[in-house]
Amino acid sequence: MVNLEEIKKEAKKILEEGKVKYIIGYAKSSNALMAAPTFVKKPEDIDKLIWDPTCFQNLVKFLIDEKRKKAREKEPDTRPIGIFVKGCDSRAINVLLQEKFITREDVYIMGLSCEDVGVLDKKKIFKKLKGEKPEKIEFDQRKNIVISTKEKTIKIPLKEILAERCLECTSSFPVISDVFWGDRNNRSPKEPFKCLEQIESLSQEEKWDFWQQQLSKCIRCYACRSVCPMCYCDECVVDSINLAITADTTAEEKAQKIKWIEKSPESSENFGYHLVRAMHLAGRCIDCSECERVCPVDIPIRFLNKKLEKVTKELFDYKAGLDPEQPSLVSSFKDEDPEDFIR
Amino acid sequence: MEKILTKKSFPAWIKKLQSYTVYSPEKQENLWSYEVIQNPDKLNLEHLNTVLAPKKIIYPQREIFLQFNTSKEGKPQIKEVLPEEHPAVIFGVRPCDAKAITLTDKVFGEEPKDPYYWSRRNQTILVGLTCNPPPSPNCFCLSVGGSPHSKEGLDILMTDMGDKYHIDSLTKKGEKLIKAAENLFKPASSKDKKELEKIQRESEKKIKREVKDIKNIPDKLKDMFESPFWDEEAMSCIRCGICTYLCPTCFCFDITDELTSTLPLKGKRVRTWDTCQFPDFTMHSSGHNPRPDKASRLRQRMLHKFQYHVENYQDYLCTGCGRCISLCPMGIDIIEILNKVIDHE
């Protein structure tokens, strides 16, 4: 069992020793059902750290900010960043290492096993509560969640309200870490791609209609991109500055930059955006599903990522983020790689 | 004019409004959204906060300004595109969202008046609903000069009284809507009025969140521009557009040309929502960006809402709907930030 007190003890120790610049962890937010990222710099602040199934966020995203910040500083503090990672989050670190975006010395990985749980799915809880607002939540032995609303107190088995990705997770513990808490029991869900069954059974027309309807909801807030630990490009095709501008860039060059995707939330542009986003995650997405969680209009973005994960697995027997030393999917090939899908 | 309408007769009223496009909150899976009513009998005004405010109807995310077309021989052709005017009614408008429209009215009402905004605004009737209970745990309208039964910006305010609605008609537009089905309404009795007052008092008590000492916020912010406070608060921001796109008061936009063909040159000039939270919002063509980091962008959002707008229009650019709090992926909470601003030394 992961013991929060032990985590705090370690956090205190590494901060006191000055081993890390700061620690990215979780603290309570004003929303009882969601933790918030916290950045602990002083040993006396460790008591705000928490660890429970409301710790949704993939904190690896913040390593990207840290790298950018460091690049701007004249004399940067080069100590590593302490960071809380779950199983899925640790795979994101591996991809960043594999792509040489960060180095191993940049991070002090505080690995937390989800054990037999995971994180909550806010939509599932919303359904259970039938619109009532949670005032207080408690976890009972990591088996049940006890939610108190103004009207009543209800106890729900965690299994019923866990995020889909956690139910389909095959490695619920960090695969890379400097310190580690919890067990390393592999899970073997019978159907790791079960979520795709229904959508794969649809005809091409039905699929088209489904995505037309879903993607027409997109308001292009880019939260799915902004939250993704794999999205770290300096210039993104959806931004109006998708051209690195320097003092030498001519007006002509600026005027002639290609606009791949327009700002309008029109169907064609939304398709363009979401397909570009998904394709850039082929062999990279580690299924933390943050993109889907943060979507304010509930687009089932995970389907796209999961489909790519499945194809990647079936065609190339490749799974992202398991090993920082493995060659990346899109920049390597094997003689036995299939070619018959190339048309 | 205060009237009473039984809930049973509510669909009959809507059916009388055939000359209008009628919008109302509709539950789509887990989310509420303002949509055109297809079946008045299924209408339900028990909605939680909609993801997008009714702002999206009056000031849509995309608006075509003009179309252009060139051909080798002829002159370039430019055709202005104005919205097709059609009268609309929006039911179930929350008082905070209605107040937000009065704020965008002021901005788009400055000379030159925005013809796109006003062609819709003038044709839209806002029928509000008293929030009892509040539609979100993060409602804080009382802190920013609103209330769950505020009439500001509304043409009619409806209040749920069990099996009937109290209908308070506030403008000529509102009167017109009631006249469309006059026989369905009964005058409100003094007993009804007493009950209404009770409901209104109760509705205020149900708002749980508040910003302390908000009157001092604008002054306090003036001295905080350079404070490292913003770096701290913005640490967990991921630079998405949720807080601003879902905000009922945010009005910033971008204008771009969307080409459908380059030879011959053809396309549209469109306006789309934009947000101060995106890095390219303030990007200069030189490559310099005066708001280079997320701290300066969070500061901009706060200062615009609680300092600059107060200086320019004597009102906060926030109506306390709580959307930015409820949907921030990282739990950034505007109330907590404001309360820290007050405590800031």
Residue A70 lies in a domain: yes
Q: Examine the domain organization and report whether A132 and A203 are in the same domain.
A: no
Tell me what the mean pLDDT of segment A51-71 comes to.
94
Q: Examine the domain organization and report whether A36 and A106 are in the same domain.
A: yes
pLDDT at A257: 73
A330 CB within 8 Å of a chain B CB: no
Q: Examine the domain organization and report whether A143 and A114 are in the same domain.
A: no
* Strand, helix or coil for residue B175: helix
Kindly state the helix (H) or strand (E) to which residue A41 belongs, with its residue range. none
Task: Flag if B325 and A31 touch (Cβ within 8 Å).
Answer: yes
Chain A residues with CB under 8 Å of B285 CB are 245, 251, 254
Give the whole-angstrom CA distance, residue B135 versus residue B81. Answer: 37
Nearest Cα of chain A lies from the Cα of B187 at a distance, in angstroms, of 34
pLDDT greater than 70 at residue A244: no
pLDDT at A340: 82
Question: pTM of the predicted model, to two decimals?
Answer: 0.94
Q: Examine the domain organization and report whether A98 and A148 are in the same domain.
A: no
Residue A340 lies in a domain: no
pLDDT at A243: 64
Q: Which chain B residue is nearest to residue A249, measuring alpha carbons?
A: B286
Which of A62, A64, A217, A219 is best to mutate for the B interface (most B CBs within 10 A)?
A219
CB contact at 8 A, A60 and A290: no
pLDDT at B288: 85
B255 CB within 8 Å of a chain A CB: no
Q: Examine the domain organization and report whether A24 and A69 are in the same domain.
A: yes
Q: Which chain A residue is nearest to residue B244, measuring alpha carbons?
A: A221
Tokens for B174? Answer: 């509102």
Give the whole-angstrom CA distance, residue B250 versus residue B281. Answer: 14
Nearest Cα of chain B lies from the Cα of A339 at a distance, in angstroms, of 36
CB contact at 8 A, B225 and B302: no
B176 CB within 8 Å of a chain A CB: no
Q: Examine the domain organization and report whether A45 and A181 are in the same domain.
A: yes
Residue B136 CB coordination number (10 Å): 20
A136 CB within 8 Å of a chain B CB: no
B228 CB within 8 Å of a chain A CB: no
pLDDT greater than 80 at residue A325: yes
Residue A302 lies in a domain: yes
Give the whole-angstrom CA distance, residue A279 versus residue A99. Answer: 16
Q: Examine the domain organization and report whether A115 and A250 are in the same domain.
A: no
Q: Examine the domain organization and report whether A5 and A151 are in the same domain.
A: no
Q: Which chain A residue is nearest to residue B324, measuring alpha carbons?
A: A296
pLDDT at A248: 79
ipTM value: 0.94
Q: Examine the domain organization and report whether A101 and A130 are in the same domain.
A: no
Give the Å distances, CA to CA, from A251 to A248, A257, B283: 9, 10, 15
**Structure confidence at residue A242 as a pLDDT band (50, 70, 90):** low
Which of A260, A263, A291 is best to mutate for the B interface (most B CBs within 10 A)?
A263
Nearest CB partner across the interface for B283, out of A34, A62, A241: A241
pLDDT greater than 80 at residue A190: no
Give the whole-angstrom CA distance, residue A276 versus residue A232. Answer: 14
pLDDT at A238: 84
Which of B238, B258, B321, B336 is best to mutate for the A interface (most A CBs within 10 A)?
B238
Give the whole-angstrom CA distance, residue A52 versus residue B183. Answer: 58
Where do the structural domains in chain B lie, given as residue ranges? 2-60+84-205, 214-254+273-343
CB contact at 8 A, B156 and B178: yes
Q: Please give the residue range of the domain that contains residue A145.
A: 122-161
Give the whole-angstrom CA distance, residue A38 versus residue B212. Answer: 24
Tokens for B157? Answer: 């305010």
Residue A26 lies in a domain: yes
Q: Examine the domain organization and report whether A54 and A199 are in the same domain.
A: no
Percent of chain A surpassing pLDDT 70: 98
Instruction: List the 290-309 stretch of A: residues with Cβ below 8 A of B.
Output: 290, 293-294, 296-298
pLDDT at B74: 74
Q: How many residues does chain B have?
A: 345
Q: The CATH number of the domain where A19 resides is what?
A: 3.40.50
Q: Examine the domain organization and report whether A202 and A184 are in the same domain.
A: no
Q: Which chain B residue is nearest to residue A254, measuring alpha carbons?
A: B285
CB contact at 8 A, B146 and B100: no
Chain A residues with CB under 8 Å of B137 CB are 31, 133
CA nearest neighbour of A240 among B279, B253, B67: B279
Residue B201 CB coordination number (10 Å): 10
Residue A335 lies in a domain: no
Task: Flag if B329 and A245 touch (Cβ within 8 Å).
Answer: no
Nearest CB partner across the interface for A37, out of B236, B283, B287: B236
Nearest CB partner across the interface for A265, out of B61, B256, B286: B61
* Strand, helix or coil for residue B193: helix
A280 CB within 8 Å of a chain B CB: no
B278 CB within 8 Å of a chain A CB: yes
CB contact at 8 A, A26 and A37: yes
Give the whole-angstrom CA distance, residue A197 versus residue A268. Answer: 26
Could you list the pLDDT tens digit for every one of the 345 residues in chain B?
799 999 999 999 999 999 999 999 998 888 899 999 989 998 889 888 999 999 999 999 999 999 999 877 778 899 999 988 789 999 999 999 999 999 999 999 999 999 999 999 999 999 999 999 999 989 999 999 999 999 999 999 999 999 999 999 999 999 999 999 999 999 999 999 999 999 999 999 999 999 999 999 999 999 999 999 999 999 999 999 999 999 999 999 999 999 888 888 899 999 999 999 998 899 887 778 899 999 999 999 999 999 999 999 999 999 999 999 999 999 999 999 999 999 998
Q: Examine the domain organization and report whether A213 and A306 are in the same domain.
A: yes
Count: domains in chain A = 3
Residue A92 lies in a domain: yes
Nearest CB partner across the interface for A263, out of B29, B138, B256: B256
Give the whole-angstrom CA distance, residue A14 versus residue A40. Answer: 11
Q: Give the model confidence (pLDDT) of A203-215 as tens digits.
A: 999 999 999 999 9
